[in-house]
Structure 1
């Protein structure tokens, strides 16, 4: 538990001459009025205001702010009044405490109206005294840190969702990114636990390799900066889990397709040094020109300043680098709080830059609006750039990700509405279900009783809920069909062997087999047969062991005929399915897997096993019951087609240079074509024959080093044929 002496020590560090008597008195008063109150964690209630005050001390705020943090709950939770606070601590502290209390006191009739009113009060408080909102953010941060003490998961999820909806965006808009990031990370854990844990596992798996890469890049940067006589501090860090998840979601990527898991930061003394450092970095590694962003010359509205550049670093990997001064780094972490003077008796200079311009504009434009929903409609767009804000026919507000569709909206209303959705009207006009919604749209969903989700919806829905519910329905239907087919197959096979399948179910023999094989129910085992992942004959052998020898004798000739003499095509696929080389397999054209790629098999009807890359979008749409484990065979030296796209500035001799790199790697070119835009950007599409993904990555890394080449990426074969048509 934080002690008052810890807070005072921090204050003396950033303000050695500070008069802390106001804080001492606030602490004593808070301890007295909160005496006997206990938090859910079992700690004395006083621990909470102390933690909030400590967060504000970390932000180097003034004495009034920290005293108000110690007192922020006294009006709401104790008999103390605003007048009492003003008499003892002055009108400034009383004003802040009253402002924080108003933010907590919401009496709206509906959850939507409550959220709108909460946001309205937050914006008004920012315009009145930004310190009110800083204390509220610190209050929410400590509450999120102790959210585990809430016993009800639904309560935890509701608080976490509110944090993502209101508090994290406010922190981001104020430029306080360390609070924004911590709020998002904790809220992510409680709102999407499975996704959080999945990304945690994936990051941990890659951590050793990534940490070695951080050390390598950091060492190279240190050496270059010393050579250029640019004294600096260099930091390498992993991106937050929530930002990784948001990138995967917004761009439709799998984890191993997110290239910028690591970001580097170079911190220097002056602005000229920042530009010199950018030049030094670009002399080391090739920059990606459209990824260079100068937020020093053009600061963001929340005062953020930095140079961002992405380069092709060691091993051909993209590296994101931020370059800024120490002052810019302080502002980047603390945002608007960094401009709040901690000196006694002074206030922030509101004429400095545009610190409060966006807040003032918001309030000036909305101050005459009495309807909180209308206020929310006009404000939220500015706070939620990654989301759209739409309405139900009765005016209820719904938040969806960008490019969301009427189907996403329908599932947002209710699962049954989503399942029975057959049409939609947007702003009174009929639209396709794949129509992309925009902020301000009013959506009416048309439903048909008895209608069910379509597999095609998976091609355009954006929300996790919609995708999950649609896949669950499709899997259930697939299982139902497979159960019927499996039962029919079992009854026929058992009947041919003079066995009664239904009698064996009643006797418990089939249940015994299901238990041994790890199936929860007999129905799951029968569906497994229907999916083709187990034969009815194999089930009979396990259910009636005494028949196994006779069955083996009868089947040996057939097995020998099918398995022992595979065709040349089968022998050279390089794929092992469940430990056997000689199963009919084919490679899917949708993702063109290569040796070294993580792969998965999908059982098709009459065409054997289709091999896909594990991150193939089509696998995500297919029934999980038909997925089967496969692996690359060792020692196979076959060539496989792979397609790449190269974007480059046009120049004389470019194609010859690219072809020379591919030829030098001992790789054959099957197909090639190119396009050149009016801006002079050339796009080359190549289909080449490679032995593995490692060989492909190596030649792609070499191609990135070719003069004027900006980007090299792996694509699917279909992209080559459709690329020119889509442009």
Structure 2
């Protein structure tokens, strides 16, 4: 563990103007607040925030970040409050500590929900200040280094899985490859212990049997470049165990079939020397076609720059070579964190803005926690390809991305109005996967809108989130349109003419957002007619009889006096149907239509012959209606209900397969004849493709 004076000296080495008193005060504060708390390893708890602060000094981050690292667990794990932090260390440190604390307060949530909420808070906190993420990544890295001290295998696995699925990819997206690789390695050891042990063992065997072959190859590369007058540093290593395992899984091959286990880095003095070195290596050794990548002229989204190539060494051995300047290497290993050494005033490093803006947009568009998790994983995890607009603008997308993904990457409005696409000048289907270097032209339609079927082939989180949001908005508008028709029926029953003033007052009384929200609530059957009438004209429902509920306005012959009954939800019997009752011990009699599928299952229960009573009227019938996907079709259906004096109690879109939309509708009807007339009227409508009773 770093001692107090050692931590201060580290900061003063790269930031001589740092406030030494502030650093000392924060160090002492965390030691005092955590007091006698212990970690699973048995070490004092305060050793953890001090080590996290040490990791931040390795990145040469500013004093506010170092202080935040020292204090990051005090609010969560001690009696300290954010106000205490603000009072003792200032508003900026308090804001950063609060951001990190919010990312940590989710350990008791269910796993999927916790992971999704983690992502949501990550993204929103990052949008405010990237340093929140840097501290949290260092916090997770140190926790992973001590993960083996936790006794519970289930807890170790959960933390490792969360690290592999969320923290390591986010470290990669901000270019912190050293953090990413170590997190992956430590998580891999917990998640796949047998595979980890096998691969590490095989690498040790190769290392001992080759007798320094890595060093020998590195020397050969350096000599070849020196002969051409290029001064370089060359280092070699076996590939990362997790990288090897991932390649084995993707290619479905054994360890022995992986030919490019060795990787070498060549550090030059200038970008020009990078390309000169590449030429020398390709002249000296044969390179593997299709394995060359130029990330210097076209950097990755996170700012990563390097040349990648694979050489065939001594006839059979494949070795991967990465060529970059020393400055590129420093920025590549620590990514956006490295920029903070040169930034003043806490400004956001350039380079993170594009993908971070997309992620924040996904947060806004996601409907629930699981959807957010799905979309964000798509946004941060996948390998990249490069595609161009006709004017030459470059966009990075995941592999298997389509023109629709490309359109949404350019702009959400462009994606929403896409009707067609050209790839390299040729018209193609919208589901066509893009390849590296494609020039993509998107064809817009003024009145077009996202289609639900696109979800079958788009791969980016941004596209999926935008499509789902647009589909939900369209469905909401259609339900609100039905609500408007039903509202007219409700208003006709009132003693006074209803104007805008009365509607605004009703919206306020019902605690809704606006008039559209009211129409949607009516269309979705979230409000009863009485609720709406009372909100429009208070006191207007006093003399109205209560609306029938659960079919209790009907009477049933064949039941002993006092025996309760319920109309079955599976077949929705209405007066006029032939009916039968199912009697189960301790339950009310369940009334079914005689040909209900439920009866065919052969329940071991008593059947009772039933018939409708003389005063039976008013029950709920369910319809399945298939509409053409055209403007106004739902309104026309609502009009048919109104003309036939039927009240829609429930409506749900159950299937969407353009050009048809299928709905389930529950109607309050008088009897079977009434329901039959409505079905006939629906079938006669040009808006309806099919209508049938369920």
Equivalent position of 1:627 in the other structure:
none
Q: CA deviation at 1:326?
A: 0.9
Question: Which structure's CA Rg is the greater one?
Answer: 2
Residue 281 of structure 1: SS of its match in structure 2? helix
Does residue 225 of structure 2 align to residue 221 of structure 1?
A: no
Does residue 278 of structure 2 align to residue 278 of structure 1?
A: yes
Q: CA deviation at 1:348?
A: 3.5
CA distance 1:308–1:386, shift in 2 (3 Å): closer
Equivalent position of 1:696 in the other structure:
none
Deviations 1:285-336 (A, max 9, x none): 1122311110000000011000001111224311110000111101111011
Cα distance in 2, alignment partners of residues 77 and 349 from structure 1 = 29
Does residue 318 of structure 2 align to residue 321 of structure 1?
A: no
Unmatched runs of 5 consecutive residues or more in structure 1: 388-401, 404-427, 430-434, 442-727
Query: Which deviates more, 203-212 or 264-273?
Result: 203-212
Equivalent position of 1:57 in the other structure:
57
Cα distance in 1, alignment partners of residues 277 and 34 from structure 2 = 53
- Provide the aligned length of Structure 1 versus Structure 2: 397
Equivalent position of 2:375 in the other structure:
378
Q: CA deviation at 1:375?
A: 2.1
Confirm or deny: 8 A CA contact 1:310 1:319 kept in the other structure.
Answer: yes
Confirm or deny: 8 A CA contact 1:63 1:342 kept in the other structure.
Answer: no
After TM superposition, the structure 1 = structure 2 runs for residues 162-311 of structure 1, keeping only pairs within 5 Å, are 162-210=162-210, 212-311=212-311
Deviations 1:580-618 (A, max 9, x none): xxxxxxxxxxxxxxxxxxxxxxxxxxxxxxxxxxxxxxx
CA distance 1:364–1:333, shift in 2 (3 Å): same
Residue 308 of structure 2: SS of its match in structure 1? strand
Q: CA deviation at 1:44?
A: 1.1
Residue 331 of structure 1: SS of its match in structure 2? helix
Equivalent position of 1:487 in the other structure:
none
Equivalent position of 2:363 in the other structure:
366
Confirm or deny: 8 A CA contact 2:8 2:24 kept in the other structure.
Answer: no
Equivalent position of 1:146 in the other structure:
146
Equivalent position of 1:346 in the other structure:
345
Confirm or deny: 8 A CA contact 2:362 2:376 kept in the other structure.
Answer: no
Q: CA deviation at 1:210?
A: 4.3
Cα distance in 1, alignment partners of residues 458 and 208 from structure 2 = 42
Cα distance in 2, alignment partners of residues 439 and 301 from structure 1 = 15
Cα distance in 1, alignment partners of residues 63 and 5 from structure 2 = 15
Confirm or deny: 8 A CA contact 1:56 1:138 kept in the other structure.
Answer: yes
What TM-score do the two structures reach when normalised by structure 2?
0.54
Confirm or deny: 8 A CA contact 2:64 2:92 kept in the other structure.
Answer: yes
Residue 236 of structure 1: SS of its match in structure 2? strand
Residue 158 of structure 1: SS of its match in structure 2? helix
Confirm or deny: 8 A CA contact 1:61 1:342 kept in the other structure.
Answer: no
Equivalent position of 1:155 in the other structure:
155
Q: CA deviation at 1:219?
A: 1.4
Deviations 1:682-727 (A, max 9, x none): xxxxxxxxxxxxxxxxxxxxxxxxxxxxxxxxxxxxxxxxxxxxxx
Equivalent position of 1:512 in the other structure:
none
Instruction: Please provide the CA RMSD for this pair.
Output: 2.8
Q: CA deviation at 1:349?
A: 4.9
Cα distance in 2, alignment partners of residues 142 and 198 from structure 1 = 25
CA distance 1:3–1:319, shift in 2 (3 Å): same
Q: CA deviation at 1:215?
A: 2.0
Cα distance in 2, alignment partners of residues 149 and 206 from structure 1 = 30
Aligned with 1:355 (options 343, 352, 368): 352
Equivalent position of 1:462 in the other structure:
none
Deviations 1:96-147 (A, max 9, x none): 1000100011277532122111111111111111111111111111111111
CA distance 1:263–1:23, shift in 2 (3 Å): same
CA distance 1:211–1:436, shift in 2 (3 Å): farther
Equivalent position of 1:719 in the other structure:
none
Cα distance in 2, alignment partners of residues 189 and 306 from structure 1 = 29
CA distance 1:259–1:220, shift in 2 (3 Å): same
Equivalent position of 1:67 in the other structure:
67
